[in-house]
């Protein structure tokens, strides 16, 4: 029973962290060595959308490197010299490329703690079970 | 009334089904009770909503609208404006798939909301609906609501049939049973509203695929796609027109709409073909004398010609589809979209009574199992899980408030970090609950932790927004002041409750309950 619960918990956590509620997709396409194209698509229709606020920030310091309103002409930009992240505001939701490392990290920690909890429980309960039976 | 054997089976069914759904329903009810205050929590977590109330304020963006539309190149086909309300004191201007612009209603200044997000409100809502478990989460919540319907019915039958017995035999009832029954009976009307609507939203809408496939000869599985064009028909965009014509000021059109539809409480304004010859403006909202049937799903509206303020059309409640009215009533009962603080507080209190009744119901079963040596391992496991769910819900919610302002908005992974740490804290508390023998100690640790989180969340909020509780009081920013005050009061109550708990509290649920060592 406890083993089943443990595996159920893994499934639950995998679901929790893989869940996305976004309606738009941000694509950053490399055009050549110097240029990238920023493309925002509506998830359902795959139609490109424009006139959204875009910020290109330094991934390390968060400093704003470039800021503009997305349009057909401004879709193509020079690659910034610093390591960068592209942020687009659609409605009141901020869209950016998410790093899946953190999801895996949190999932691992939760599963690890749960595993240890069950082991501890079994150790604790064995002692008291014997004592109570006697 | 019922035969002895039937009553026995009914009690058994009541217990088994209750146990099956209590974990999910407790979580749903706990977070659901907080969602009554979600509009206020939402304001607390967004610094741009910390707006001072000015006297004689009137909604007027005549001088700003054109500037915003040009600056952000909003789609002139359909521009949506949301006036300030008790849910959000800001003015929002947007068009489909573009960034929403927020204005301070006092000064009409643009607010910087680029990095802001309402992580607490969204996450609490997600857990309430079971959306954090995709595919099956909402269905499971709906299923547990359906099970609660059975529990209500069986509870009533058991109450009536037990009444006779009670008259014959006036023995005192056990504490858990007495309060499970009494509180359960008090909250029945409230519970019925939420379980019926919850079951409808969670279970019926999630299992509609079969009906859609059947109705369309296996061509379409999404019911919404089938019914939306009929039930939720949106006003089509107007024909393209190249002739520029200055439309009347929004304030004049707003006034005209109010004059021509006195009963309408305007919640949204849509301008079609802005500043074009054929421009129209639609004011939609709810009817002051019928909020339920003209709720979010079934808004009524008035359409004006934007150029000369001539009334083009008006929708009356009687003209709307019966199913839309029913849906509107359902959604109104569950979400209370337009109700302000009074009803929300009342429903919150009933929600708390329901939670206590659920816990006492569980304790009834748990107490019976205490003396069964064969069930020692399983019953202890379930007890500890339940204990963690009940107590960690407080601690984890406190932690949500605490971390929201602790992590900077500019940190992009904030949302994920908050969720991740929320789950980690839950599992740490579960670990502690398994590890610790004494239940009283587990309760104390949880209550102290929640108290610390709630207390400091109010002050971290102050440090980050430069608006401490005394500032919001002085500036008359009621919502922020009251949310901070409730956080501090909750912290004090939790602290003193923890202090009051003796070491023998619920000692019969300790692992070593049968031992004298």
ipTM confidence: 0.85
The Cα–Cα gap between B83 and B59 comes to 7
User: Strand, coil or helix: what is B269?
Assistant: strand
Chain A CB within 8 Å of residue B463 CB: no
pLDDT at B436: 92
- Residue B457's pLDDT is what? 96
Chain B hits for A53, CB-CB cut-off 8 Å, are 72, 99, 114
Q: What is the pLDDT of residue A29?
A: 86
Tell me whether residues B373 and A133 touch, CB distance under 8 A. Answer: yes
Among B109, B33, B378, residue whose Cα is nearest residue A125? B378
Q: What share of chain B has pLDDT > 70, as a percent? A: 94
Domain count, chain A: 1
Identify whether B226 is part of a domain: no
Average pLDDT score over residue span B463-475: 92
pTM of the model: 0.88
Instruction: For A96, name the nearest residue in chain B, comparing CA atoms only.
Output: B412
Domain of A35 in residue numbering reads as 2-133
Tell me the nearest-neighbour CA distance from B30 into chain A, angstroms. 19
CB contact under 8 A, B416 and A98: yes
**Which helix (H) or strand (E) is B441 found in, with range?**
helix B439-465
**Is the per-residue pLDDT at B516 higher than 60?**
no
Q: Which segment, A10-24, B211-225, B244-258, B501-515, is predicted with the most confidence on average?
A: B244-258
Q: Which of B100, B421, B511 sits opposite A125 (nearest CB)?
A: B511
Chains A and B form CB pairs within 8 A to the count of: 144
CB atoms within 10 A of CB B214: 9
- DSSP string covering chain A: -HHHHHHHHHHHHHHHHH----SEEEEEEE-SSSEEEEEEEETTT--B----EEEEEETTT--EEEEEE--TTTTEEEPPSS-EEEEEEEBTEEE-PPPHHHHHHHHHHHHHHHHHHHHHHHHHHHHHHHHHH-
Last residue of a domain, one of B96, B117, B138: B117
DSSP per residue over B147-189, as a string? HHHHHHHHHHHHHHHHHHHHHH--PPPPHHHHHHHHHHHHTHH
- The answer as to whether B394 is a domain residue is yes
Residue B286 maps to which CATH number? Answer: 3.10.450
Nearest to A106 among B114, B420, B515 (CB): B420
CB contact under 8 A, A89 and B114: yes
Identify whether B217 is part of a domain.
no
pLDDT band at B8 (very low <50, low <70, confident <90, very high): confident
3-class state of residue B249 by DSSP = coil
- The model's pLDDT over B476-491, given as tens digits with 9 standing for 90+, comes to 899 999 999 999 999 9
Q: How confident is the model at residue B454 (pLDDT cuts 50, 70, 90)?
A: very high
Closest CA of chain B from A85, distance in Å: 10
Distance, in angstroms, between A9 CA and closest chain B CA?
A: 11
- Give the mean pLDDT of chain A: 81
pLDDT at B510 over 80: yes
Q: How many CB atoms lie within 10 A of CB B241?
A: 12
pLDDT above 60: residue B241: yes
Q: Compute and round to an integer the Cα radius of gyration of chain B.
A: 27
pLDDT over threshold 60, residue B137:
yes
Percent of chain A having pLDDT more than 90?
A: 4
Tokens 């023995």 identify what position? Answer: B171
Q: B172 and B23 in one domain?
A: yes
| In chain A, residues 25-84 whose CB comes closer than 8 Å to chain B | 42, 49-53, 55, 62, 69, 71
Q: Which residue has the higher pLDDT, B260 or B226?
A: B260
- Residues of chain A contacting B135 with CB distance shorter than 8 Å: 15
pLDDT value of residue B163 = 63
Closest Cβ opposite residue B100 in set A92, A125, A132: A92
* Contact yes or no for B424 and A106 at CB 8 A: yes
Q: Within this chain, do residues B69 and B129 fall inside the same structural domain, yes or no?
A: no
Yes or no, beta carbons of B420 and A120 under 8 Å apart? no
Work out the minimum CA distance from B455 to partner chain A, whole angstroms.
26
CB within 8 Å: A51 and B74: yes
- Beta-carbon separation of A125 and B133 below 8 A: no
Q: Do A19 and B417 touch (CB under 8 A)?
A: no
Q: What is the pLDDT of residue B170?
A: 47
Residue B219 placed within a domain: no
pLDDT, one tens digit per residue, over B159-200 is 888 765 555 454 445 788 888 888 998 999 888 888 888 888
The answer on pLDDT for A26 being more than 90 is no
pLDDT at A102 over 90: no
Reading across the β-sheet that carries A84-90, which strands appear in turn?
A: A64-69, A53-58, A84-90, A93-95
Query: In terms of domains, do B78 and B130 share one?
Result: no
> Structural domain tally of chain B?
4
Q: Do B515 and A55 touch (CB under 8 A)?
A: no
Q: Which of A94-98, B167-171, B377-381, B468-472 has the highest mean pLDDT?
A: B468-472
Residue A43 has pLDDT above 80, yes or no: no
Q: Identify the DSSP state of B47.
A: G
Are the beta carbons of B231 and B324 closer than 8 angstroms?
A: yes
- The reply to whether residue B417 touches residue A98, judged by beta carbons under 8 angstroms, is no
Same-domain status, B33 and B53:
no
A14 touches chain B (CB under 8 A): no
Q: Does any CB of chain A come closer than 8 Å to the CB of residue B516?
A: no
Domain around B299? 238-334
- Give the mean model confidence (pLDDT) for residues B24-53: 91
Lowest mean pLDDT among A111-115, B189-193, B206-210, B469-473: B206-210
Q: Between B131, B133, B434, which is nearest A120 by CB?
A: B434
Residues contacting residue B457 through CB under 8 Å, at least 6 positions apart: B398, B401, B402, B404, B405, B487
Please tell me the predicted confidence (pLDDT) of residue B21.
85
In three-state secondary structure terms, B288 is coil
Tell whether B218 is covered by a domain: no
Query: Looking at per-residue confidence, does B218 or B144 come out higher?
Result: B144
Kindly determine whether residue B73 and residue A51, on different chains, have CB atoms separated by under 8 Å. yes
On the question of pLDDT at B346 being above 70, the answer is: yes
pLDDT per residue as tens digits for the range B265-288? 999 999 999 999 999 999 999 999
Return the number of other C-beta atoms located less than 10 Å from residue B428's C-beta. Answer: 17
Q: Looking at B281, B313, B334, which one is the last position of a domain? A: B334
Facing B417 at nearest CB: one of A62, A87, A102: A102
* Within-domain flag for B312: yes
What's A19's domain CATH number?
A: 2.60.40.3080
Q: Band of the pLDDT at A51, cuts 50, 70, 90?
A: confident
CA dihedral over B189, B191, B194, B196, signed as positive or negative: negative
Whether residue B175 is found in the same domain as residue B272: no
**Shortest distance, CA A106 to any CA of chain B (angstroms):** 5
Nearest CA in chain B to A11: B133
- B348 vs B32: CA distance, rounded Å: 9
Gap between the Cα atoms of B271 and B246, Å rounded: 13
**pLDDT value of position B79:** 93
Distance from CA of B56 to the nearest CA of A (A): 29
| Cα–Cα nearest to A10, from B21, B143, B427 | B427
Do residue B133 and residue A16 have CB atoms under 8 angstroms apart? yes
Per-residue pLDDT tens over the stretch B317-345: 888 888 888 888 888 888 888 888 888 99
B contacts of A1 (beta carbons < 8 Å) = 378
Specify the pLDDT at position B1: 54
Average pLDDT for chain B: 87
Q: Does B427 touch chain A (CB under 8 A)?
A: yes
Q: Are B388 and B430 contacting, i.e. CB atoms less than 8 angstroms apart?
A: yes
């Amino acid at each position: 029973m406890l083993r089943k619960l443990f595996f159920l918990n893994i499934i639950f956590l995998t679901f929790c962290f893989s869940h996305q509620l976004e309606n738009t997709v941000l694509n950053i396409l490399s055009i050549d060595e110097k240029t990238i194209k920023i493309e925002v698509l509506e998830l359902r229709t795959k139609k490109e959308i424009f006139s959204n606020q875009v910020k290109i920030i330094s991934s390390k310091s968060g400093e704003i490197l470039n800021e503009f309103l997305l349009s057909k002409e401004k879709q193509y930009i020079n690659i910034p010299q610093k390591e960068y992240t592209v942020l687009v505001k659609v409605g009141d939701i901020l869209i950016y490329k998410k790093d899946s490392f953190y999801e895996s990290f949190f999932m691992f920690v939760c599963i690890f703690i749960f595993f240890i909890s069950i082991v501890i429980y079994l150790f604790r309960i064995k002692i008291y079970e014997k004592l109570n039976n006697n | 009334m019922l035969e002895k054997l039937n009553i026995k089976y009914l009690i058994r069914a009541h217990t088994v089904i209750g146990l099956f759904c209590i974990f999910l329903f407790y979580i749903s009810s706990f977070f659901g009770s907080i969602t009554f205050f979600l509009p206020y929590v939402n304001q607390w977590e967004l610094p741009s909503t910390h707006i001072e109330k000015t006297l004689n304020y009137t909604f007027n963006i005549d001088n700003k609208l054109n500037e915003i539309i040009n600056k952000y190149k909003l789609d002139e086909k359909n521009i949506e404006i949301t006036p300030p309300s008790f849910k959000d004191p800001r003015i929002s201007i947007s068009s489909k798939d573009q960034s929403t612009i927020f204005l301070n209603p006092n000064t009409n200044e643009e607010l910087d909301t680029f990095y802001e997000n309402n992580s607490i409100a969204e996450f609490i809502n997600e857990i309430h609906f079971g959306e954090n478990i995709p595919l099956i989460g909402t269905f499971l919540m709906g299923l547990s609501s359906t099970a609660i319907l059975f529990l209500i019915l069986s509870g009533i039958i058991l109450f009536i049939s037990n009444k006779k017995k009670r008259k014959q035999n006036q023995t005192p009832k056990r504490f858990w049973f007495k309060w499970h029954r009494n509180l359960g009976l008090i909250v029945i009307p409230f519970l019925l509203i939420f379980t019926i609507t919850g079951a409808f939203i969670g279970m019926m809408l999630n299992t509609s695929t079969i009906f859609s496939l059947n109705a369309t000869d296996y061509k379409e599985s999404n019911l919404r796609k089938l019914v939306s064009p009929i039930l939720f028909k949106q006003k089509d965009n107007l024909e393209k027109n190249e002739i520029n014509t200055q439309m009347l000021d929004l304030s004049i059109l707003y006034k005209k709409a109010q004059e021509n539809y006195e009963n309408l409480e305007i919640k949204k304004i849509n301008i079609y073909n802005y500043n074009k010859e054929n421009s129209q403006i639609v004011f939609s909202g709810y009817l002051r004398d019928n909020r339920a049937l003209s709720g979010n799903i079934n808004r009524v509206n008035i359409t004006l010609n934007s150029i000369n303020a001539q009334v083009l059309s008006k929708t009356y409640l009687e003209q709307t589809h019966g199913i839309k009215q029913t849906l509107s009533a359902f959604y109104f009962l569950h979400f209370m979209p337009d109700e302000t603080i009074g009803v929300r507080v009342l429903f919150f209190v009933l929600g708390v009574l329901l939670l206590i009744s659920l816990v006492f119901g569980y304790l009834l079963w748990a107490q019976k199992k205490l003396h069964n040596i064969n069930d020692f391992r399983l019953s202890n496991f379930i007890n500890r899980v339940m204990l963690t769910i009940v107590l960690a819900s407080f601690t984890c919610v406190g932690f949500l408030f605490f971390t929201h302002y602790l992590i900077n908005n500019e940190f992009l992974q904030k949302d994920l970090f908050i969720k991740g740490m929320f789950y980690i804290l839950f599992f740490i508390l579960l670990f502690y609950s398994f590890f610790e023998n004494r239940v009283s100690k587990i309760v104390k640790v949880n209550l102290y932790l929640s108290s610390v989180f709630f207390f400091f969340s109010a002050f971290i909020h102050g440090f980050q927004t430069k608006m401490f509780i005394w500032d919001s009081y002085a500036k008359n920013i009621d919502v922020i002041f009251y949310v901070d005050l409730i956080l501090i009061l909750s912290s004090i109550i939790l602290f003193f409750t923890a202090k009051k708990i003796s070491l023998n509290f619920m000692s019969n649920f300790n692992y070593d309950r049968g031992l004298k060592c």
